[in-house]
Amino acid sequence: MKLPLSHPRYSSLKQRHALVDGVKKGITAPSGLIAFGRGEAFDYLIGEKTTSEARKAEQAAAALLLLAHSPVISVNGNTAVLCPKEIVSLARETNSKIEVNLFYDSPARRKKTVQLFKQKFKTKILGEKPDKKIPALASARSHVCANGIFSANVVLVPLEDGDRTQALRRMKKKVIAIDLNPLSRTSQTANVSIVDNVVRALPNIAFFARKLKRKNKKQLVRILSSFDNKKNLKQAEKNMRRRL
Ligand code: ATP
């Protein structure tokens, strides 16, 4: 179906269509649609645009990725179809690896997701054959690659479940979360919590990464240490409540 560009909900409809298409292709899990619906409700509450709190978190995320010695961007069935191009651009900008990691895991779904990135973007992507496990994590999200998420020191986790964020923190990794729900366990547990739609957040982080690349390590550390995640998250929540 062709969406009219002038439609007031063009972006939201485009995202929904991409996800429905992703389900048909066997990349997105059907429950990914439900998770997206929850995200949309929160997006409505922030006016469907990047807030100043989100922007601050996105800048901190860019600094953290640039400072990392082994950053990895985790990809699930929703992000793979919502913003594959943006994932690849951010990975290139920050020298990050990309790894498929699925809650509703199956070898077929992993393969299709890997193929999507390989064929469309000619990019290397990990996760087709995970060979390690995140300790003390019951879900299939625990299956990771030794040279990817398992050994990463910074992991960007868009649309995550809180369990894995907690497990990654226990492994002493720094976690950047993109989650429209400021109350989720993911947002509450991450080191940098970005309350923004993933389709806006990823290009914003890439924008900051391009800008911050000109800075030296000391300047990047200063940017990062001046960012207070708890305070920023609280403010994001307050702003949402004010809109109700
Ligand atoms: P937690 O375990 O962290 O409390 P949850 O179990 O509620 O999280 P899921 O059911 O996995 O999490 O849902 C995924 C989360 O992703 C939801 O909090 C939802 O708000 C968020 N989300 C969905 N779509 C988007 C999107 N496009 N951009 C950013 N966040 C999104």
Q: Sketch the domain layout of the chain as residue ranges.
A: 52-243
Residue 162 identity: G
Question: What gap in Å lies between CA 207 and CA 211, rounded to an integer?
Answer: 6
Q: Is the pLDDT at 148 greater than 80, yes or no?
A: yes
Q: Which atom of ligand 1 is nearest to the CA of 188?
A: 3
Ligand 1 pocket mutation, candidates 81, 161, 233, criterion most atoms within 8 A of CB? 161
Ligand 1 pocket mutation, candidates 101, 186, 205, criterion most atoms within 8 A of CB? 186
Band (pLDDT 50/70/90 cuts) for residue 3 is confident
Ligand 1: residue whose CA is nearest its atom 30? 179
Who lines ligand 1 at CB under 6 A? 35-36, 38-39, 42, 159, 161-162, 178-181, 184-186, 197-198
Q: How many residues comprise the chain?
A: 244
**pLDDT value for 161:** 82
Please state whether beta strands 132-133 and 97-100 pair in parallel, antiparallel, or not at all (unpaired): unpaired
Mean pLDDT of the region 194-208: 98
pTM, two decimals, is 0.96
Please give the CATH topology (third level) of the domain spanning 52-243.
Answer: Rossmann fold (3.40.50)
The Cα-based distances of 171 to 17, 91, 147, 149, 235 in angstroms read 37, 22, 15, 11, 28
Helix, strand, coil percentages (3-state) for the chain, rounded to 5, are 55, 10, 30
**pLDDT value for 2:** 76
More confident residue, 4 or 109: 109
Cα 64 to ligand 1 centre (Å): 22
Mean pLDDT of the region 84-95: 98
